[in-house]
Homo-oligomer: A and B are copies of this chain.
Protein backbone atom coordinates (compact mmCIF):
# COMPACT_ATOMS: atom_id res chain seq x y z
CA UNK A 1 0.00 0.00 0.00
CA UNK A 2 1.38 3.37 -1.03
CA UNK A 3 1.40 5.85 1.84
CA UNK A 4 1.82 8.95 -0.25
CA UNK A 5 3.10 10.21 -3.58
CA UNK A 6 5.73 12.67 -4.68
CA UNK A 7 6.77 13.98 -8.05
CA UNK A 8 10.38 13.69 -7.01
CA UNK A 9 12.13 11.92 -4.18
CA UNK A 10 15.80 12.48 -3.50
CA UNK A 11 17.62 9.88 -1.46
CA UNK A 12 20.46 11.56 0.40
CA UNK A 13 20.64 15.13 1.67
CA UNK A 14 24.25 16.11 1.14
CA UNK A 15 25.19 19.09 -0.99
CA UNK A 16 24.23 17.29 -4.21
CA UNK A 17 20.93 15.96 -2.89
CA UNK A 18 19.92 19.34 -1.50
CA UNK A 19 20.58 21.03 -4.82
CA UNK A 20 18.77 18.37 -6.82
CA UNK A 21 15.76 18.69 -4.53
CA UNK A 22 15.66 22.47 -4.64
CA UNK A 23 16.09 22.73 -8.40
CA UNK A 24 13.70 19.98 -9.39
CA UNK A 25 11.09 21.65 -7.19
CA UNK A 26 11.47 25.08 -8.75
CA UNK A 27 8.93 24.40 -11.46
CA UNK A 28 6.25 23.45 -8.95
CA UNK A 29 6.90 19.74 -8.61
CA UNK A 30 6.31 18.16 -5.20
CA UNK A 31 9.66 17.10 -3.86
CA UNK A 32 10.78 15.11 -0.84
CA UNK A 33 14.30 14.60 0.45
CA UNK A 34 15.26 11.56 2.49
CA UNK A 35 18.18 11.78 4.90
CA UNK A 36 19.03 9.58 7.85
CA UNK A 37 21.94 11.60 9.18
CA UNK A 38 22.59 15.34 9.21
CA UNK A 39 21.07 17.35 6.40
CA UNK A 40 23.99 18.96 4.58
CA UNK A 41 26.07 15.84 4.37
CA UNK A 42 29.70 14.88 4.34
CA UNK A 43 31.16 18.12 3.01
CA UNK A 44 29.50 20.35 5.55
CA UNK A 45 30.19 18.32 8.65
CA UNK A 46 33.00 15.88 8.00
CA UNK A 47 35.05 16.99 5.03
CA UNK A 48 35.52 20.27 3.15
CA UNK A 49 34.54 22.70 5.86
CA UNK A 50 36.04 21.25 9.05
CA UNK A 51 39.23 20.31 7.25
CA UNK A 52 39.68 23.89 6.08
CA UNK A 53 39.23 25.13 9.63
CA UNK A 54 41.88 22.71 10.88
CA UNK A 55 44.34 23.88 8.24
CA UNK A 56 43.76 27.60 8.32
CA UNK A 57 45.65 28.68 11.48
CA UNK A 58 48.83 26.91 10.39
CA UNK A 59 48.55 28.29 6.89
CA UNK A 60 47.94 31.83 8.16
CA UNK A 61 50.97 31.69 10.42
CA UNK A 62 53.12 30.25 7.67
CA UNK A 63 52.03 33.06 5.35
CA UNK A 64 52.89 35.57 8.03
CA UNK A 65 56.34 34.11 8.52
CA UNK A 66 57.13 35.00 4.92
CA UNK A 67 56.40 38.68 5.57
CA UNK A 68 59.32 40.71 6.88
CA UNK A 69 57.91 43.39 9.11
CA UNK A 70 54.99 41.38 10.45
CA UNK A 71 56.10 40.17 13.82
CA UNK A 72 54.03 37.40 15.28
CA UNK A 73 54.21 35.09 18.22
CA UNK A 74 53.46 32.21 15.88
CA UNK A 75 51.50 29.94 18.09
CA UNK A 76 48.47 27.88 17.36
CA UNK A 77 45.82 27.93 20.02
CA UNK A 78 44.51 24.40 19.56
CA UNK A 79 41.41 24.95 21.65
CA UNK A 80 40.40 28.00 19.61
CA UNK A 81 41.23 26.24 16.36
CA UNK A 82 39.06 23.25 17.26
CA UNK A 83 36.27 25.54 18.43
CA UNK A 84 36.39 27.32 15.08
CA UNK A 85 36.30 23.94 13.36
CA UNK A 86 33.24 23.04 15.42
CA UNK A 87 31.61 26.31 14.35
CA UNK A 88 32.43 25.77 10.67
CA UNK A 89 30.92 22.30 10.98
CA UNK A 90 27.82 24.02 12.43
CA UNK A 91 28.44 22.07 15.65
CA UNK A 92 27.08 19.06 13.76
CA UNK A 93 23.64 20.57 14.03
CA UNK A 94 21.60 20.79 10.84
CA UNK A 95 18.78 23.08 11.94
CA UNK A 96 19.85 25.85 9.54
CA UNK A 97 19.81 23.42 6.67
CA UNK A 98 16.43 22.09 7.73
CA UNK A 99 15.06 25.63 7.84
CA UNK A 100 16.47 26.32 4.36
CA UNK A 101 14.90 23.15 2.96
CA UNK A 102 11.53 24.17 4.32
CA UNK A 103 11.94 27.61 2.80
CA UNK A 104 12.52 26.16 -0.66
CA UNK A 105 9.42 24.00 -0.25
CA UNK A 106 10.99 20.57 -0.05
CA UNK A 107 9.70 18.00 2.45
CA UNK A 108 12.31 16.42 4.69
CA UNK A 109 11.81 12.72 5.32
CA UNK A 110 14.08 11.67 8.16
CA UNK A 111 15.08 8.08 7.72
CA UNK A 112 16.69 5.49 5.49
CA UNK A 113 15.48 5.52 1.89
CA UNK A 114 15.48 2.37 -0.18
CA UNK A 115 14.25 1.78 -3.71
CA UNK A 116 11.74 -1.08 -3.77
CA UNK A 117 10.87 -1.16 -7.45
CA UNK A 118 10.21 1.16 -10.36
CA UNK A 119 9.35 4.64 -9.03
CA UNK A 120 8.87 3.25 -5.54
CA UNK A 121 10.82 4.16 -2.43
CA UNK A 122 10.46 2.85 1.10
CA UNK A 123 11.50 5.00 4.02
CA UNK A 124 12.21 3.72 7.49
CA UNK A 125 12.47 6.24 10.24
CA UNK A 126 13.94 5.30 13.59
CA UNK A 127 11.43 3.24 15.47
CA UNK A 128 8.68 3.84 12.93
CA UNK A 129 7.00 1.49 10.50
CA UNK A 130 8.25 1.52 6.94
CA UNK A 131 6.43 3.96 4.68
CA UNK A 132 6.02 3.41 0.97
CA UNK A 133 6.19 6.30 -1.49
CA UNK A 134 5.25 6.35 -5.12
CA UNK A 135 7.06 8.81 -7.35
CA UNK A 136 5.48 10.19 -10.51
CA UNK A 137 8.54 11.72 -12.08
CA UNK A 138 11.95 10.94 -10.68
CA UNK A 139 13.98 9.35 -7.96
CA UNK A 140 17.38 10.96 -7.47
CA UNK A 141 20.03 8.94 -5.70
CA UNK A 142 22.51 11.21 -3.96
CA UNK A 143 23.78 8.93 -1.23
CA UNK A 144 27.42 9.89 -1.68
CA UNK A 145 30.38 7.77 -0.74
CA UNK A 146 32.21 6.46 2.30
CA UNK A 147 35.82 5.77 3.07
CA UNK A 148 36.91 2.43 1.67
CA UNK A 149 39.42 0.43 3.65
CA UNK A 150 42.19 -1.53 2.01
CA UNK A 151 42.74 -5.21 2.84
CA UNK A 152 45.56 -4.81 5.34
CA UNK A 153 46.22 -7.58 7.82
CA UNK A 154 45.18 -6.59 11.31
CA UNK A 155 43.28 -3.46 10.22
CA UNK A 156 40.28 -2.96 12.48
CA UNK A 157 37.91 -0.27 11.19
CA UNK A 158 36.69 0.53 14.69
CA UNK A 159 40.08 1.57 15.95
CA UNK A 160 41.10 3.88 13.13
CA UNK A 161 40.12 7.25 11.78
CA UNK A 162 38.41 7.60 8.46
CA UNK A 163 38.03 11.09 6.95
CA UNK A 164 35.01 11.74 9.18
CA UNK A 165 36.77 10.97 12.40
CA UNK A 166 39.91 12.78 11.29
CA UNK A 167 38.07 16.01 10.57
CA UNK A 168 35.88 15.87 13.67
CA UNK A 169 38.43 14.70 16.26
CA UNK A 170 38.57 16.64 19.52
CA UNK A 171 42.11 15.67 20.51
CA UNK A 172 45.46 16.03 18.79
CA UNK A 173 47.04 12.60 18.42
CA UNK A 174 50.64 12.31 19.56
CA UNK A 175 51.72 10.03 16.73
CA UNK A 176 49.55 9.89 13.62
CA UNK A 177 50.07 7.39 10.82
CA UNK A 178 48.19 8.05 7.62
CA UNK A 179 47.67 5.35 5.02
CA UNK A 180 47.04 7.11 1.73
CA UNK A 181 48.59 10.30 0.37
CA UNK A 182 45.70 11.74 -1.63
CA UNK A 183 43.83 14.95 -0.80
CA UNK A 184 42.46 13.70 2.52
CA UNK A 185 45.74 12.22 3.68
CA UNK A 186 47.72 15.29 2.69
CA UNK A 187 45.38 17.82 4.25
CA UNK A 188 45.03 15.88 7.50
CA UNK A 189 48.77 15.27 7.77
CA UNK A 190 49.53 18.95 7.62
CA UNK A 191 46.59 20.04 9.75
CA UNK A 192 47.34 17.72 12.65
CA UNK A 193 51.07 18.33 12.42
CA UNK A 194 50.45 22.07 12.67
CA UNK A 195 48.03 21.48 15.52
CA UNK A 196 50.78 19.76 17.48
CA UNK A 197 51.04 16.09 16.56
CA UNK A 198 54.62 15.13 17.33
CA UNK A 199 55.00 12.48 14.66
CA UNK A 200 53.05 12.33 11.45
CA UNK A 201 53.78 9.71 8.81
CA UNK A 202 52.19 9.24 5.41
CA UNK A 203 52.38 5.98 3.51
CA UNK A 204 51.44 6.15 -0.16
CA UNK A 205 51.52 3.21 -2.56
CA UNK A 206 52.03 5.34 -5.67
CA UNK A 207 55.34 6.98 -6.39
CA UNK A 208 54.21 10.43 -5.35
CA UNK A 209 51.59 12.10 -3.20
CA UNK A 210 48.38 13.16 -4.98
CA UNK A 211 48.96 10.44 -7.53
CA UNK A 212 46.17 11.67 -9.80
CA UNK A 213 47.90 15.01 -10.37
CA UNK A 214 50.99 16.15 -12.25
CA UNK A 215 54.00 14.57 -10.50
CA UNK A 216 55.49 17.95 -9.59
CA UNK A 217 52.45 18.65 -7.39
CA UNK A 218 53.03 15.67 -5.15
CA UNK A 219 56.76 16.30 -5.17
CA UNK A 220 56.28 19.88 -4.00
CA UNK A 221 54.00 18.68 -1.21
CA UNK A 222 56.45 15.99 -0.18
CA UNK A 223 59.22 18.57 0.04
CA UNK A 224 57.11 20.94 2.13
CA UNK A 225 55.92 18.12 4.36
CA UNK A 226 59.41 16.78 4.92
CA UNK A 227 60.64 20.25 5.83
CA UNK A 228 57.99 20.56 8.52
CA UNK A 229 58.83 17.17 9.93
CA UNK A 230 56.18 14.95 8.37
CA UNK A 231 57.61 11.61 7.28
CA UNK A 232 56.53 10.70 3.76
CA UNK A 233 56.96 7.23 2.32
CA UNK A 234 55.97 6.90 -1.33
CA UNK A 235 55.97 3.67 -3.35
CA UNK A 236 55.42 2.11 0.04
CA UNK A 237 52.99 -0.53 1.15
CA UNK A 238 51.44 -1.10 4.53
CA UNK A 239 51.71 -4.83 5.08
CA UNK A 240 50.15 -5.30 8.48
CA UNK A 241 48.94 -3.57 11.58
CA UNK A 242 49.21 -4.97 15.06
CA UNK A 243 48.29 -3.81 18.54
CA UNK A 244 49.18 -5.19 21.92
CA UNK A 245 45.53 -4.67 22.90
CA UNK A 246 42.44 -2.70 22.04
CA UNK A 247 43.03 1.07 22.39
CA UNK A 248 46.76 0.45 22.54
CA UNK A 249 49.13 2.10 20.05
CA UNK A 250 49.34 0.38 16.68
CA UNK A 251 52.46 -0.87 15.01
CA UNK A 252 52.38 -0.81 11.22
CA UNK A 253 54.76 -2.86 9.14
CA UNK A 254 55.59 -0.96 5.99
CA UNK A 255 57.49 -2.10 2.95
CA UNK A 256 59.43 0.83 1.55
CA UNK A 257 60.33 1.46 -2.07
CA UNK A 258 63.80 0.09 -1.35
CA UNK A 259 62.32 -3.29 -0.45
CA UNK A 260 63.27 -2.76 3.17
CA UNK A 261 60.56 -3.14 5.80
CA UNK A 262 60.16 -0.73 8.70
CA UNK A 263 57.85 -0.55 11.67
CA UNK A 264 56.03 2.64 12.55
CA UNK A 265 54.30 3.00 15.89
CA UNK A 266 51.33 5.31 16.09
CA UNK A 267 48.69 6.37 18.58
CA UNK A 268 46.25 7.02 15.81
CA UNK A 269 45.80 5.56 12.34
CA UNK A 270 44.00 7.39 9.54
CA UNK A 271 42.88 5.37 6.55
CA UNK A 272 42.57 7.66 3.54
CA UNK A 273 42.92 5.31 0.61
CA UNK A 274 39.76 6.07 -1.33
CA UNK A 275 36.01 6.07 -1.41
CA UNK A 276 33.27 3.60 -2.25
CA UNK A 277 29.77 4.57 -3.36
CA UNK A 278 27.01 4.30 -0.77
CA UNK A 279 24.90 1.87 -2.78
CA UNK A 280 24.96 -1.30 -0.70
CA UNK A 281 21.67 -0.78 1.08
CA UNK A 282 19.44 1.30 -1.16
CA UNK A 283 17.59 -1.42 -3.02
CA UNK A 284 19.42 -1.28 -6.34
CA UNK A 285 18.88 -4.99 -6.93
CA UNK A 286 15.11 -4.46 -7.06
CA UNK A 287 15.55 -2.54 -10.30
CA UNK A 288 18.29 -4.64 -11.81
CA UNK A 289 21.32 -2.61 -10.72
CA UNK A 290 24.25 -3.96 -8.75
CA UNK A 291 24.53 -3.05 -5.10
CA UNK A 292 27.86 -1.64 -3.96
CA UNK A 293 28.73 -0.32 -7.42
CA UNK A 294 28.45 3.26 -8.66
CA UNK A 295 25.25 4.06 -10.55
CA UNK A 296 26.23 4.71 -14.13
CA UNK A 297 24.57 7.75 -15.66
CA UNK A 298 24.35 9.59 -18.96
CA UNK A 299 24.85 13.34 -19.33
CA UNK A 300 21.33 14.06 -18.05
CA UNK A 301 22.43 12.19 -14.92
CA UNK A 302 19.85 9.50 -15.71
CA UNK A 303 20.87 5.97 -14.77
CA UNK A 304 21.82 4.16 -17.96
CA UNK A 305 20.68 0.69 -16.90
CA UNK A 306 17.14 1.71 -16.01
CA UNK A 307 14.22 2.14 -18.40
CA UNK A 308 11.84 5.06 -18.37
CA UNK A 309 14.29 7.76 -17.34
CA UNK A 310 12.90 7.99 -13.81
CA UNK A 311 16.15 7.22 -11.97
CA UNK A 312 18.85 9.87 -11.61
CA UNK A 313 22.09 9.72 -9.69
CA UNK A 314 24.15 12.77 -8.74
CA UNK A 315 27.34 13.31 -6.77
CA UNK A 316 29.90 10.76 -5.61
CA UNK A 317 27.46 7.89 -6.09
CA UNK A 318 27.73 8.02 -9.88
CA UNK A 319 31.55 8.15 -9.76
CA UNK A 320 31.83 10.76 -12.53
CA UNK A 321 33.86 13.00 -10.24
CA UNK A 322 34.07 12.71 -6.45
CA UNK A 323 33.94 16.36 -5.44
CA UNK A 324 31.36 18.51 -3.68
CA UNK A 325 31.27 21.17 -6.37
CA UNK A 326 30.94 18.75 -9.27
CA UNK A 327 28.22 16.92 -7.37
CA UNK A 328 26.36 20.18 -6.90
CA UNK A 329 26.81 20.95 -10.58
CA UNK A 330 25.33 17.59 -11.53
CA UNK A 331 22.49 18.26 -9.13
CA UNK A 332 21.73 21.58 -10.80
CA UNK A 333 21.65 19.90 -14.19
CA UNK A 334 19.61 16.92 -13.01
CA UNK A 335 17.18 19.12 -11.11
CA UNK A 336 16.62 21.37 -14.11
CA UNK A 337 16.24 18.31 -16.35
CA UNK A 338 13.63 16.82 -14.07
CA UNK A 339 11.85 20.16 -14.03
CA UNK A 340 11.59 19.93 -17.78
CA UNK A 341 14.62 21.75 -19.16
CA UNK A 342 16.64 20.14 -21.94
CA UNK A 343 20.09 20.36 -20.40
CA UNK A 344 23.16 18.17 -20.11
CA UNK A 345 26.17 17.98 -17.80
CA UNK A 346 29.62 18.29 -19.35
CA UNK A 347 31.58 20.81 -17.28
CA UNK A 348 32.16 18.23 -14.55
CA UNK A 349 34.06 15.92 -16.88
CA UNK A 350 35.60 18.35 -19.36
CA UNK A 351 37.02 20.69 -16.74
CA UNK A 352 36.92 19.09 -13.30
CA UNK A 353 38.49 21.58 -10.91
CA UNK A 354 40.07 20.37 -7.70
CA UNK A 355 41.94 22.15 -4.94
CA UNK A 356 43.93 20.58 -2.15
CA UNK A 357 44.12 23.15 0.63
CA UNK A 358 47.55 22.27 1.91
CA UNK A 359 50.48 24.65 1.95
CA UNK A 360 51.51 24.79 -0.82
CA UNK A 361 48.04 24.55 -2.26
CA UNK A 362 47.51 22.29 -5.24
CA UNK A 363 44.92 23.40 -7.76
CA UNK A 364 44.27 21.60 -11.00
CA UNK A 365 41.64 21.40 -13.69
CA UNK A 366 41.15 19.27 -16.77
CA UNK A 367 43.75 16.83 -18.01
CA UNK A 368 47.30 16.42 -16.82
CA UNK A 369 49.99 15.90 -19.45
CA UNK A 370 49.90 12.11 -19.27
CA UNK A 371 46.12 11.98 -19.64
CA UNK A 372 46.21 14.38 -22.58
CA UNK A 373 48.82 12.25 -24.34
CA UNK A 374 46.77 9.11 -23.68
CA UNK A 375 43.83 10.82 -25.32
CA UNK A 376 45.89 11.17 -28.47
CA UNK A 377 46.02 14.96 -28.44
CA UNK A 378 48.85 16.93 -30.00
CA UNK A 379 50.12 17.92 -26.56
CA UNK A 380 52.33 20.89 -25.81
CA UNK A 381 53.07 21.96 -22.28
CA UNK A 382 54.64 24.90 -20.57
CA UNK A 383 55.74 25.37 -17.00
CA UNK A 384 56.74 28.44 -15.01
CA UNK A 385 57.98 29.07 -11.49
CA UNK A 386 55.40 31.25 -9.78
CA UNK A 387 58.04 32.49 -7.33
CA UNK A 388 59.50 34.50 -10.19
CA UNK A 389 56.46 36.71 -10.69
CA UNK A 390 56.41 40.03 -8.87
CA UNK A 391 53.14 39.18 -7.15
CA UNK A 392 54.85 36.34 -5.32
CA UNK A 393 57.56 38.66 -3.96
CA UNK A 394 54.84 41.06 -2.91
CA UNK A 395 53.39 38.33 -0.67
CA UNK A 396 56.67 37.87 1.15
CA UNK A 397 59.97 36.11 1.02
CA UNK A 398 60.64 32.66 -0.30
CA UNK A 399 57.44 32.00 -2.21
CA UNK A 400 57.75 28.71 -4.07
CA UNK A 401 55.31 27.48 -6.64
CA UNK A 402 54.87 26.14 -10.12
CA UNK A 403 52.25 26.51 -12.83
CA UNK A 404 51.81 24.25 -15.83
CA UNK A 405 49.48 24.38 -18.80
CA UNK A 406 48.60 21.45 -21.02
CA UNK A 407 47.64 22.58 -24.49
CA UNK A 408 46.01 20.83 -27.42
CA UNK A 409 48.22 22.44 -30.04
CA UNK A 410 46.04 21.37 -32.92
CA UNK A 411 43.12 23.41 -31.66
CA UNK A 412 45.26 26.03 -29.84
CA UNK A 413 43.29 25.53 -26.61
CA UNK A 414 44.15 24.57 -23.06
CA UNK A 415 42.93 21.19 -21.88
CA UNK A 416 44.50 21.24 -18.44
CA UNK A 417 46.24 23.41 -15.89
CA UNK A 418 47.98 22.81 -12.58
CA UNK A 419 49.05 25.41 -10.04
CA UNK A 420 51.09 24.62 -6.94
CA UNK A 421 51.99 27.20 -4.34
CA UNK A 422 50.54 29.31 -1.55
CA UNK A 423 47.22 30.95 -2.46
CA UNK A 424 47.00 29.42 -5.94
CA UNK A 425 43.50 28.05 -5.34
CA UNK A 426 41.94 31.25 -6.61
CA UNK A 427 44.02 31.14 -9.81
CA UNK A 428 42.17 28.06 -10.94
CA UNK A 429 38.85 29.46 -12.09
CA UNK A 430 40.49 31.43 -14.88
CA UNK A 431 41.82 28.13 -16.23
CA UNK A 432 38.47 26.44 -15.79
CA UNK A 433 36.76 29.15 -17.84
CA UNK A 434 39.45 28.95 -20.53
CA UNK A 435 39.02 25.19 -20.82
CA UNK A 436 35.23 25.15 -20.66
CA UNK A 437 34.91 27.91 -23.25
CA UNK A 438 37.83 26.62 -25.34
CA UNK A 439 39.38 30.07 -25.45
CA UNK A 440 42.20 30.05 -27.99
CA UNK A 441 45.66 30.85 -26.63
CA UNK A 442 45.69 33.50 -29.34
CA UNK A 443 42.94 35.23 -27.40
CA UNK A 444 44.31 34.56 -23.92
CA UNK A 445 47.33 36.60 -25.05
CA UNK A 446 45.08 39.66 -24.92
CA UNK A 447 43.73 38.92 -21.42
CA UNK A 448 46.05 41.03 -19.29
CA UNK A 449 46.75 39.99 -15.71
CA UNK A 450 47.15 42.76 -13.15
CA UNK A 451 50.58 43.67 -11.87
CA UNK A 452 51.68 42.65 -9.28
CA UNK A 453 49.32 39.72 -8.70
CA UNK A 454 50.12 36.01 -8.74
CA UNK A 455 47.88 35.86 -11.81
CA UNK A 456 50.72 37.46 -13.76
CA UNK A 457 51.95 33.91 -14.11
CA UNK A 458 49.41 33.66 -16.95
CA UNK A 459 51.46 36.13 -18.96
CA UNK A 460 54.67 34.34 -18.10
CA UNK A 461 53.21 30.99 -19.14
CA UNK A 462 52.11 32.36 -22.49
CA UNK A 463 55.47 34.06 -23.05
CA UNK A 464 57.22 30.82 -22.21
CA UNK A 465 54.87 28.94 -24.53
CA UNK A 466 55.67 31.40 -27.33
CA UNK A 467 59.39 31.00 -26.77
CA UNK A 468 59.37 27.25 -26.30
CA UNK A 469 57.00 26.26 -29.08
CA UNK A 470 57.55 29.06 -31.59
CA UNK A 471 53.98 30.23 -31.23
CA UNK A 472 53.21 33.56 -32.88
CA UNK A 473 50.68 35.62 -30.94
CA UNK A 474 48.88 38.22 -32.94
Contact = CB atoms under 8 A, between A and B. Distances in A.
A342 to B, nearest CB: 7
A354 B342 CA distance: 39
A324 to B, nearest CB: 4
Given A71-B77, A325-B451, A437 B439 contact: yes
Contacts of A72: 61, 64, 72-75
A387 interface: no
Contacts of A241: none
B49 A70 contact: no
Given A67-B60, A426-B453, A428-B453, A443 B436 contact: yes
A427 to B, nearest CB: 6
B456 A325 contact: yes
A304 B437 CA distance: 36
Interface stretch (A31-39, A78-86, A244-252): A78-86
A348 interface: yes
Interface residues of A, number: 90
Contact of A452 (B52, B82, B352, B472): B52
A411 to B, nearest CB: 14
Given A60-B64, A426-B427, A433 B447 contact: yes
Interface stretch (A200-208, A285-293, A390-398): A390-398
**How many copies are assembled?**
2
A100 interface: no
Contact of A437 (B48, B336, B447, B474): B447
Contacts of A15: 451
A315 B194 CA distance: 46
Contacts of A69: 53, 56-57, 76-78, 80-84
A249 B65 CA distance: 37
Interface in A440-474: 443-456, 458-459, 472-474
Instruction: Specify which of A57, A329, A430, A473 lies most central, judged by the most chain B CB atoms within 10 Å of its CB.
Output: A430
A197 interface: no
Interface string A34-56: 00000000010000110011001
Interface string A1-30: 000000000000001000000000000000
Contacts of A450: 323, 325, 353-355, 363, 425, 428-429
**Shortest Cβ-Cβ A-B pairs, 3 listed:** A69-B81, A347-B446, A72-B72
Interface of A: 15, 43, 48-49, 52-53, 56-58, 60-61, 63-64, 67-78, 80-84, 88, 323-326, 328-329, 336, 341-343, 346-348, 350-355, 357, 363, 390, 393-397, 423, 425-430, 432-434, 436-437, 439, 443-456, 458-459, 472-474
12 contacts: A48-B452, A53-B394, A56-B67, A69-B84, A70-B76, A347-B445, A351-B448, A428-B453, A433-B439, A436-B443, A437-B443, A437-B447
